[in-house]
Amino acid sequence: MNPHAVLLVMNAGSSSIKFACFRQASVDAAPLPCLQGELVDGGQQRRLTLATGDRCWEEAVSARARSGGAEEALGQILDTVCRLVREGAITPEAGTIAAVGHRIVHGGEAFAGPVVITADVRQSLEQLVPLAPLHMPHNLGAIDVVSARLPEARQVACFDTAFHQTCPPAARRFAIPRHYHDAGLKRYGFHGLSYEYVARRFAALTERLPRRVVLAHLGAGASLCGLLDGKSVTTTMGYTPLDGLVMATRCGSLDPGVVLALGARFGLSVPEIEAVLSTQSGLLGVSGVSGDMATLLAANDPQAEEAIELFCRAIVRETAAAAAELGGLDALVFTGGIGSHSPAIRQRVCQGLTWLGVSLSPQANREAALESRLDTGSGPALWTIKTDEQLVIAEHVLQVLKRLG
């Protein structure tokens, strides 16, 4: 990439679309962020926010992008970024978009690292939609919009599942007949791009990564990852992003008998069961109020409080389970929208882990910035670190492009 070529990163999720632009001063230099943005889906209140190093602003969202689907919203983002690049607004001079990196939630068995997106790769990714129905259609939609509008740009897929390839075989297996496991019914784990950044940043902040670390990515989607000597050895999400912790609209861990009962007793079809577990459960389903944690914390409602309690109980339980697999706990790091921004949730979780020696400083927790130490100086280290999946994707894309020459 030359100094005027831009790398665009697209993170098309189930509730928002995040994007960022990077440039590179030289072949071996780290990517330099030059634009960050997000389109937040609030129905008629959709807004496109952008920020460079010296200013922040909002772009008007077109009527089509306000009322249409993800394709129209992605199209507006691309139009906006292309205009800014052409105008030289985010590079020293007018530039071009040379490559686009995509966050892809599920890599299945086929993809253990970043790959250039070809027609065959795109077809293979389509087969993984049933494994992450809330996310994969958005991920693939972003690829298709870029292909249509920027056919010359090289696209690279970066996978959330790749980080967990280091989990031992037993940690990836369900207790089901082996032929189902061999057909791909196994634990994959997710949020890997976030965990990769947070683990690396934590090591930089502390000069040496502790041996036994639990990373807690808490947001609309939520999971934990146990690191042993910097490698993922256990994580709460499994075959799909439905497993593990209670989430905004996803159920988390569930007795399989409940799934059977939804069909046999309540007569729900497979698509209807999927909708219940993916979009009608979690914080939303329990509270009947909202899947948004800030809304629930502000509500004076016993059902909202019950949803919060279930969320925190699941985190405490799974942190303890991860610590058991790690042989102890040296550090707990919070990230994600809730993990980085909710002192109340961090406090509740830490209160449930005092038996592990966790000792949260109330003042440090209240005053925490986006990178802060939260413990009292005894017991496991407690931190909050804002994740940056976009930067990790940019780095992976540049590594792929460098290999290709």
- Tell me the CA distances in angstroms from 283 to 4, 203, 217, 296, 342, one per residue in order: 45, 33, 16, 8, 15
Whether the CB-CB separation of 112 and 139 falls below 8 Å is answered with: no
Closest CA relative to residue 144, chosen from 70, 254, 228: 70
Greatest alpha-carbon span in the chain? 64
Residue 57: Cβ-neighbour burial (10 angstroms; 0-12, 13-18, 19+): exposed
Rg (CA), the chain: 21
- Give me 13's structure tokens: 């999720």
Whether the CB-CB separation of 242 and 358 falls below 8 Å is answered with: no
Whether the CB-CB separation of 80 and 65 falls below 8 Å is answered with: no
Measured in degrees and rounded to the nearest 5, phi and psi for residue 133 equal: -65, -20
160 is catalytic: yes
Closest CA relative to residue 195, chosen from 222, 155, 220, 171: 222
Q: Which of 54, 79, 160, 292 is catalytic?
A: 160
DSSP 4: T
Secondary-structure breakdown of the chain: helix, strand, coil percentages, each rounded to the nearest 5: 45, 20, 35
- Give me 306's structure tokens: 């019950």
Q: Cα angle vertex 272, ends 268, 278, to 5°? A: 130
- List, in order, residues 6 or more apart from 95 with CB less than 8 Å away: 4, 5, 6, 23, 85, 86, 88
Residues designated as active site? 160
